[in-house]
């Protein structure tokens, strides 16, 4: 009888620790190192920083679900944009979920715009298939007007199949609520 009690007690503790310590949704990570009003990252190892004047965020509330969009571009037309459907504040959101029947709810894009020939602009997107996690974006703070966090992901250009690795990404963006 005593061994059954110990076994049940040990299982209870195991379940308590595993369910309380693995919640990605509550883990927003660090704020990163982006200056106020910018997005920074490495694109295949090359530094990127958006212009404060060309960086924006919007949170749209529609019924029970919110959507957050973040966008930042540099003066050459290179930039990032993110769409997080189902945004619910501080936490970790993945690009893809490893589920073949997923509904895409988090999208990250790296864009190289070509102002002189817009048809030659290139976009790399994550996720780019429906069965793999391609990275994550973490919101470490959201005070109702500003969000800060980090991101990293792998993205693919649908036109030529090329892949870009986005690392050491972070953001510090004021946003407008609609």
The 10s digit of each residue's pLDDT in 29-69 is 677 899 999 999 999 999 999 999 999 999 999 888 899 99
Check whether 3 has a pLDDT greater than 80. no
Query: What local confidence, expressed as pLDDT, does residue 103 receive?
Result: 54
Say how far apart CA 105 and CA 86 lie, in whole Å. Answer: 7
Torsion angle defined by CA atoms of residues 31, 172, 25 and 157, in that order, rounded to the nearest 10 degrees: -110
State mean pLDDT over 153-174. Answer: 97
User: What is the average pLDDT across 11-25?
Assistant: 31
The pLDDT of residue 98? 63
Q: Is the pTM of this model over 0.85?
A: no
CA distance 47 to 50: 10
Q: Where are the domains of the chain?
A: 25-177
Strands, DSSP E only, in 21-119?
Answer: 38-43, 46-49, 55-62, 65-73, 78-87, 91-94, 106-112
Distance between CA atoms of 81 and 72, rounded to whole angstroms?
6
Indicate whether 22 pLDDT > 70: no
In the numeric block, the tokens 């190289």 are attached to: 112
State the Cα–Cα distance between residues 34 and 1, nearest whole angstrom. 58
Q: Supply the pLDDT for residue 19.
A: 27
Token look-up 């509330």 returns 61
Q: Would you say 74 and 55 are in contact if contact means Cβ atoms under 8 Å apart? A: no
Which residue bears the tokens 């870009």?
164
pLDDT 10s digits, 66-91: 999 999 999 999 999 999 999 999 99
The per-residue pLDDT for 170 is 98
The token pair at 88 is 């619910």
pLDDT at 30: 74
128 φψ region: left (φ > 0), alpha (ψ -120 to 50), beta (else): alpha
pLDDT at 126 over 60: yes
In this prediction, residue 15 carries a pLDDT of 28
pLDDT at 157: 97
Is 138 a residue whose pLDDT tops 90? Answer: yes
Strand partners, 79: 73, 111
Calculate what percentage of the chain has a pLDDT beyond 70: 79
- What does the pLDDT read at residue 99? 58
- Tell me how far apart the 2 most distant CA atoms of the chain are, in Å: 80
Average pLDDT score over the chain: 84
């Amino acid at each position: 009888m005593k061994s059954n009690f110990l076994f049940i007690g040990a299982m209870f503790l195991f379940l308590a620790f595993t369910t309380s310590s693995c919640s990605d949704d509550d883990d927003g990570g660090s704020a990163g190192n982006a200056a106020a009003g910018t997005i920074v990252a490495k694109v295949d190892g090359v530094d990127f920083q958006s212009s404060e004047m060309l960086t924006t965020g919007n949170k749209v509330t529609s019924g029970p679900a919110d959507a957050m969009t973040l966008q930042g571009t540099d003066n050459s037309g290179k930039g990032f944009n993110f769409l997080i459907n189902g945004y619910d504040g501080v936490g970790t959101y993945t690009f893809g979920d490893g589920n073949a029947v997923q509904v895409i709810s988090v999208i990250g894009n790296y864009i190289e715009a070509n102002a002189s020939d817009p048809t030659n602009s290139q976009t790399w997107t994550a996720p780019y298939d429906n069965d793999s996690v391609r990275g994550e974006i973490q919101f470490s703070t959201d005070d109702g007007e500003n969000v800060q966090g980090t991101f990293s992901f792998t993205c693919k250009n649908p036109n030529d199949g090329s892949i870009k690795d986005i690392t050491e990404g972070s953001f510090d963006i004021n946003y407008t609520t609609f």
